[in-house]
Chain A
Amino acid sequence: MRYSGLRVIKEALTGHKGWKHAWRDVEPQVQYDYIVIGGGGHGLATAYYLARNHGAKKIAVLEKGWVGGGNIGRNTTIVRSNYLLDGNEPFYEHSLKLWEGLEQDINYNAMISQRGILNLVHSDAQRDAFVRRGNAMILNGADADLLSTETIQKRYPFLNVNNARFPIKGGLAQHRGGTVRHDAVAWGYARAADQLGVDIIQNCEVTGFRIESGKCLGVETSRGYIAGGKVASCVAGSSGRLMAKANMRLPIESHVLQAFVSEGLKPVLPGVITFGAGHFYCSQSDKGGLVFGGDLDGYNSYAQRGNLPVVEDVCEGAMAIFPMLGRVRLLRMWGGIMDMSMDGSPIIDHTHIKNLYFNGGWCYGGFKATPASGWCYAHLLATDTPHEFAKAYRFDRFEKGQMIDEKGMGNNPQLH
């Protein structure tokens, strides 16, 4: 069934009785050509592009909980392509272009809103770094705009540009960046993949791999053994836990990142603002809540909840730069488990085990990557060669000394 304005009117007039489930609820088959583990944004996008771009058949997505229950439904919905390094920028720009056409492609309203993102600058050194980044973006076909303090003040009159510690000295804007309704992305990809014949199997946890003579034959699950041609891990924060079942250690630590939503306000914030120096970033949802967050809690965790010192730190950052928020009440807060890699960049690669593939290491920035991650992972699975935009995302970059470390932090996952 195609969604359209006309359809909404027709259904409204006929008591909304004609809507069908967005995707089928199916029993797992005994064998698939492709088994994608993890029904988050990346897994669903991978399955969709496998079917759409490569005409693959017999694809299953196995999800241990429900579609949208992982990080795809926990993030702060920001999309952008403002990266510096060659290994990253073409990939993220491809992703942003895919976002721009996504709703028409999958016939689903994902509320893609290119309201712009602004990174604040507080010092000469930071401005130099942002100018360099902006130039790298432009060279890769993205948009970047260095804003003066006056322009920023005009657009965001509530910002405290004279903060004693971090006065605002300008900012790097990407006007094509913005926000996307995160769970609609999961539902939209799930529905579109289902329409191309992909089986989306929820409540199906992968508990082990069947590996014989260095080759992966299939997966053990809470709903029985399923044989697979190619098995593709795509479980974000659970990567370490899952790949341990194939006796693999990864260049990844799992860390908790918290996010917050305030009570609903009238429109006050026309875009996304990041105050990196103060560990705070914020946007306003279409419902009116301010959606904001800060840094990782900073220790290994699989608990999906964080601790109070970070809450205090984030709120202090908010007050420093947005003093008008002083009386806003916090409505909800939660945590998600990040697959923090050793250089802050992801991995889309085959493993040393034949027919077993890996996608992970997305850190706190994998939502914006969803379309391109699915696109490139599907390409790798279907053709056994890395996609040109993801060719730097290999396991062996660590031993070769080819880290993609945007911030130059070294092999300390919690600092990326």
Chain B
Amino acid sequence: MIINHPILGPRDSAEFTYMGDSALLDRPDWKATDALAQFIDYGYLRDNPAGPHQELWYHEQGDRSFLVVTRDTTTHEISSVKLARDVARSRGRST
């Protein structure tokens, strides 16, 4: 698989470490009253869809950036690659 890195261009997926569903960007608020339930969900339950999946890839053998890759789990086709930083910011997770 080739991942089209937004900064570095097309890179071999073997340079990356897969980090799972990009929902992991949305760490629950530890101060919420139902924080425990939310963290169990966050830590252990997954959508695991057959079809488009937004997932985190870490460019460990490259520039060390985290990417959010949208990839079809039934064909391995990649339809979009973004910097995780930008995605997190657009969700108000980071400044």
A interface residue numbers (CB < 8 A to B): 240-241, 244, 249-254, 298-303, 307, 309, 342, 398-399, 411-414
Among B13, B14, B53, point to the contact of A300 (Cβ < 8 A): B53
15 A-B pairs in the complex with CB atoms less than 8 angstroms apart:
A240-B46, A240-B49, A244-B49, A250-B48, A253-B48, A300-B20, A300-B21, A300-B55, A307-B1, A309-B13, A309-B14, A342-B44, A411-B43, A413-B20, A414-B20
Given A253-B20, A298-B18, A412-B20, residue A303 in contact with residue B48 (CB < 8 A): no
Task: Enumerate the 3 nearest inter-chain pairs by beta-carbon distance, A residue then B residue, closest first.
Answer: A240-B48, A309-B14, A398-B44
**CB interface residues, B 34-91, toward A, < 8 Å:** 40-41, 43-50, 53, 55, 71, 73-76
- For the residues of A in contact with B, the DSSP-based class is mixed
B46 touches A241 (CB 8 A): no
Q: Which residues of B contact A399 (CB under 8 A)?
A: 40, 44
B interface residue numbers (CB < 8 A to A): 1, 12-14, 18, 20-21, 40-41, 43-50, 53, 55, 71, 73-76
Shortest Cβ distance from A308 into B: residue:
B14
Given A303-B74, A303-B75, A414-B18, residue A254 in contact with residue B40 (CB < 8 A): no
Q: Which residues of B contact A250 (CB under 8 A)?
A: 45-46, 48
Shortest Cβ distance from B42 into A: residue:
A411
Among B1, B41, B46, point to the contact of A252 (Cβ < 8 A): B46
Docked Cα-Cα span, A244 to B50, in Å, equals: 10
Q: Which residues of B contact A309 (CB under 8 A)?
A: 12-14
Q: Which residues of A contact B53 (CB under 8 A)?
A: 300
B45 touches A251 (CB 8 A): yes
Among B1, B43, B47, point to the contact of A398 (Cβ < 8 A): B43
Q: Which residues of B contact A299 (CB under 8 A)?
A: 13, 18, 55, 71
